[in-house]
Chain A
Amino acid sequence: MNATTTMDRMLDGLPRKAQNRIYGVLDNLRVMGSVGNARVAASMAPSVVRGLVLGRAHSGDAVPMQARHAAHFDLTYQNEFPEMYDLYRRAVAGQWNGERDLDWSTNVDPENPETAVMPLDYPPFAGLAEKGIHLNAKEKLRFANDLASWTLSQFMHGEQGALYAAAQVTESVTWLDGKFYGATQVMDEGRHLEVFLRYLDTKLQKTYAVNDNLFVILDDLLTDGRWDVKFLGMQIMVEGLALGAFGTMYNFTKEPLLKQLLKYVIQDEARHVHYGVLALRDHITKELSPAEIREREDWAYEVALLMRNRFLSHEIYYEWFEGRLSLKDWDDVVLKAPSMAAFRHLMFLRLIPNLEYIGLMSDRIKVHYDKSGLTSFLGGKNATQLSADDLLRDIAAYKPEGAASAS
């Protein structure tokens, strides 16, 4: 059980809604205050305000995100990167068709345990029970399906961000081969958005709004004028997050259409990370000053923590438990859930070796990663050493501890 803090004692006795409100505000302040590098804090602040303070992701039909990058128009076509061209050819050959290659006639029955979209060993029922929330069998099934819809909804919102980021990066990169490759990634991201949207719209028939913290990351990336920060954010961090999240879902789901859909998407994502690693290693090691490298190291670290700690399904909390459980207790349950551990493991398994390979893992920042328990992943295979099959094998091989007993 957690030690009772002064804050807990202050909140105790207040109505639950007031508790949640104070906890939420303090939590947001903590996010902003935890960023050690002032330049990083300044660059992220507008997105944090839009996402966490103003809640822009939860109202209106659209949010304008003002991009501040320059398109690099090539006049001589001399800037070659043959390894990137090779990746482009592979991407062209590997294009799949979301309509033709997936069996949309599959009858997705969320109530059939044999083909469950989200089996009952995924949701944190044990943790909820420890907090006094006991769901009956029917509620558990419905909760698991809502959690599947929430997770896939966030995948879909992430893919929309990835689509725009890929387009921006394609404009900005200086290598012509990067522009070739980028065009395939734009197509990939468009297709990913299409298939997740279609799955949610026609199979699960329930779609959640974009999570505030995901919104902050996407808003930050899409409005930052520096192409390498967009690149680092999208190709390394968000794609790493995506591999962790898609991999976890791929491992858990028993629904054949979703499994096949995720397999195709994971294969594409492997290529995307490879591209990011190729481009950034060259740029970071040859063109950035030590101060610029330091800032990007700090930025990557902050985003990694944001990704690790803050995808806590608050929308599900408000739908299911607002009046029965405090938001703080919910966060505690989710952070300790075996499925969350699986997600973190798969995300950092890929992310840390990639940051190391592109030159954003100095001894200075390693100390911070070590404090966060993330250095065990150092020395792993980076994206240039992994095929899509390797990735799928690693994902399938990982079985989270305690998952089977959590139902």
Chain B
Amino acid sequence: MSAQAATATRGRRILLPRPHGPARRWSLHAPTAPRVVLVVDVRRETDDAITLVLHPEDGRPIPFRAGQYLTHCFDVDGQPQRRAYSISSAEGQDLACTIKALPDGRVSQHVLRTVRPGTRYSVIGPTGDFVLPESAEAPLVLLAGGSGITPVISLIETALARSLERRLRLVYVNRDPDRAIFAGRLRQLAAAHPSLDLVEHATARGRPDAARLRDLLQAPTDAEHYLCGPAGLMDAGEAALRDAGVAAARIHRERFVPAPRPQPRPTTPQPILFVRSGRSVEQQPGESILDAGLRAGVALEYSCTVGGCGHCKLRVIDGAPLLDEPNCLSEAERSTGWTLACSACATGPLQVDA
């Protein structure tokens, strides 16, 4: 007898219902073991953007929250490469991630060229706190630019699935709105949901500054505000919102870190002392501090592994690690001795607080 058929028998419940899979509380802390996924569909969104629909190979769902991202682990010309790409499907739907190929993007171009239905690779995560508030009532105001729409569409579709009354306003900034990612899908959503206001802004008319964005966003102070896109657009959006009297706690920015530029790493082993754990480790050529620590059994927290989330942040006690750029560390964090274990390596004897 199938599990579904056996959920209730003789009018009595046998199995507890789990219509949405595992509870969302567990995914607040990112799972860090890679999971193999099978690409079951590749959807062409624009000339240079595709959506990969993914099924976990072991058949067990990967629980995620709208707005989160996965770290995708590809093999590019024999080299392991990791990139963070946002989940673009709504909670409860099939897992899907949308990837925009950059003209010089080694990994994104590889994905566009080679990934097909049937391709297998690993993902880590999901990760990220760019997620909906617990309350299903607060209005949402969202500002997306370019491929910043990928987590935003997941937020919108999830919010609409939870409540048809909730007010949503999306300002979507693109060079050409007709050729923007999800342009058609968003227009259909807006047509079907009167509670969603879609404002499409073409940068051909000029990049919107803070004053223009304040007009476009029409930000009510009781709304939750989500910004995702190029740093300049998010800065202008944040300035507009603050100017309109929106509290900082109601403004959510996605950390939008471009792929790190490769740097030459040491070609000889380097000693690292994890002071709190009392473990001394020889970092091997090519390894990060995180790789070396995990290999030696040091309990290190990490998540995205590409310098984008800050979970692996640790303080340097002595030594000068080489840190891949760009990454999510702030100037204040750098100046007070923090580094990212996933994106830094020792270049000489190093002591860290872990």
A contact residues around B61 at 8 Å (CB): 205
B contact residues around A207 at 8 Å (CB): 15-16, 18
Cα–Cα, bound, A104→B12 (Å): 33
Since A202-B22, A320-B1 are in contact, a sample of 16 more A-B pairs with Cβ atoms closer than 8 Å, ordered by chain A residue number, is A58-B13, A104-B29, A104-B31, A106-B33, A201-B26, A202-B63, A205-B18, A206-B3, A206-B15, A207-B15, A208-B14, A209-B15, A209-B16, A315-B15, A318-B12, A322-B9
Chain A residue at smallest Cβ distance from B2: A319
CB of A59 within 8 A of CB of B9, answer no
Cα–Cα, bound, A93→B234 (Å): 47
9 inter-chain pairs at a CB distance below 8 angstroms, sorted by A residue, are: A58-B12, A201-B23, A205-B60, A206-B3, A206-B18, A318-B9, A318-B12, A319-B14, A319-B15
Chain A residue at smallest Cβ distance from B25: A198
- B109: interface (CB < 8 Å): no
Q: How far is the CB of B301 from chain A (nearest CB, A)?
A: 9
- A99: interface (CB < 8 Å): yes
Q: Which of A198, A202, A319 contacts B9 (CB 8 A)?
A: A319
CB of B13 within 8 A of CB of A59, answer yes
The 8 A CB mask of A271-298 against B (1 = contact, 0 = none) is 0000000000000000000000000000
Contact A205 to B1, CB < 8 A, known contacts A109-B58, A318-B14, A319-B9: no
- B32: interface (CB < 8 Å): yes
Q: How far is the CB of B256 from chain A (nearest CB, A)?
A: 27
Contact A208 to B15, CB < 8 A, known contacts A105-B31, A105-B32, A318-B10: yes
| Residues of chain A from 371 to 390 with CB closer than 8 A to chain B in the complex | none
Cα–Cα, bound, A198→B23 (Å): 9
Chain B residue at smallest Cβ distance from A105: B33
The 8 A CB mask of B16-54 against A (1 = contact, 0 = none) is 101001110010010111000000000000000000000
Cα–Cα, bound, A296→B10 (Å): 36
Q: How far is the CB of A152 from chain B (nearest CB, A)?
A: 12
Q: How far is the CB of B326 from chain A (nearest CB, A)?
A: 28
Chain B residue at smallest Cβ distance from A315: B14
Q: Count B-side interface residues using an 8 Å CB cutoff.
A: 23
- A107: interface (CB < 8 Å): yes
Cα–Cα, bound, A320→B3 (Å): 9
Cα–Cα, bound, A221→B14 (Å): 23
CB of A99 within 8 A of CB of B29, answer yes
Chain A residue at smallest Cβ distance from B60: A205
Cα–Cα, bound, A16→B75 (Å): 59
Chain A residue at smallest Cβ distance from B21: A205
- B136: interface (CB < 8 Å): no
Chain A residue at smallest Cβ distance from B5: A319
Q: How far is the CB of B13 from chain A (nearest CB, A)?
A: 5
Q: How far is the CB of A319 from chain B (nearest CB, A)?
A: 4
- A113: interface (CB < 8 Å): no
- A94: interface (CB < 8 Å): no
Cα–Cα, bound, A206→B22 (Å): 10
Chain A to chain B: the 8 pairs with minimum beta-carbon distance, closest first: A105-B33, A319-B6, A58-B12, A207-B16, A318-B9, A201-B22, A315-B14, A202-B22
The 8 A CB mask of A85-115 against B (1 = contact, 0 = none) is 0000000000000010000111101000000
Cα–Cα, bound, A386→B252 (Å): 53
B contact residues around A36 at 8 Å (CB): none
Q: How far is the CB of B167 from chain A (nearest CB, A)?
A: 30
Cα–Cα, bound, A201→B63 (Å): 11
B contact residues around A105 at 8 Å (CB): 31-33
- A55: interface (CB < 8 Å): yes
Cα–Cα, bound, A349→B142 (Å): 62
Q: Which of A109, A153, A205, A322 contacts B22 (CB 8 A)?
A: A205
Cα–Cα, bound, A197→B26 (Å): 10
A contact residues around B10 at 8 Å (CB): 17, 318
Cα–Cα, bound, A104→B32 (Å): 9
B contact residues around A197 at 8 Å (CB): 23
Chain A residue at smallest Cβ distance from B8: A58
B contact residues around A59 at 8 Å (CB): 12-13
A contact residues around B60 at 8 Å (CB): 205
The 8 A CB mask of B78-109 against A (1 = contact, 0 = none) is 00000000000000000000000000000000
Chain B residue at smallest Cβ distance from A55: B12
B contact residues around A202 at 8 Å (CB): 22, 26, 63
Q: How far is the CB of B71 from chain A (nearest CB, A)?
A: 14
Contact A107 to B58, CB < 8 A, known contacts A59-B13, A207-B16: yes
Cα–Cα, bound, A106→B32 (Å): 10
Cα–Cα, bound, A105→B1 (Å): 31
Cα–Cα, bound, A319→B12 (Å): 11
Cα–Cα, bound, A198→B63 (Å): 13
The 8 A CB mask of A185-219 against B (1 = contact, 0 = none) is 00000000000011001100111110000000000
B contact residues around A320 at 8 Å (CB): 1
Cα–Cα, bound, A130→B118 (Å): 46
CB of A209 within 8 A of CB of B21, answer no
Chain A residue at smallest Cβ distance from B35: A107
B contact residues around A107 at 8 Å (CB): 33, 58
Cα–Cα, bound, A55→B9 (Å): 13
| Residues of chain A from 300 to 332 with CB closer than 8 A to chain B in the complex | 315, 318-320, 322
The 8 A CB mask of A1-39 against B (1 = contact, 0 = none) is 000000000000000010000000000000000000000
Q: How far is the CB of B105 from chain A (nearest CB, A)?
A: 29
CB of A198 within 8 A of CB of B31, answer no
| Residues of chain B from 223 to 260 with CB closer than 8 A to chain A in the complex | none
Cα–Cα, bound, A313→B15 (Å): 13
A contact residues around B32 at 8 Å (CB): 105
Q: How far is the CB of A19 from chain B (nearest CB, A)?
A: 13
Cα–Cα, bound, A33→B9 (Å): 28
Cα–Cα, bound, A322→B1 (Å): 10
Cα–Cα, bound, A206→B32 (Å): 23
Chain B residue at smallest Cβ distance from A318: B9
CB of B13 within 8 A of CB of A318, answer no
The 8 A CB mask of B54-67 against A (1 = contact, 0 = none) is 00001011010000
Cα–Cα, bound, A55→B10 (Å): 11
B contact residues around A153 at 8 Å (CB): 16
Cα–Cα, bound, A192→B66 (Å): 29
Chain B residue at smallest Cβ distance from A60: B13
The 8 A CB mask of A132-172 against B (1 = contact, 0 = none) is 00000000000000000000010000000000000000000
Chain B residue at smallest Cβ distance from A17: B10
Cα–Cα, bound, A209→B58 (Å): 26
Q: How far is the CB of B350 from chain A (nearest CB, A)?
A: 25
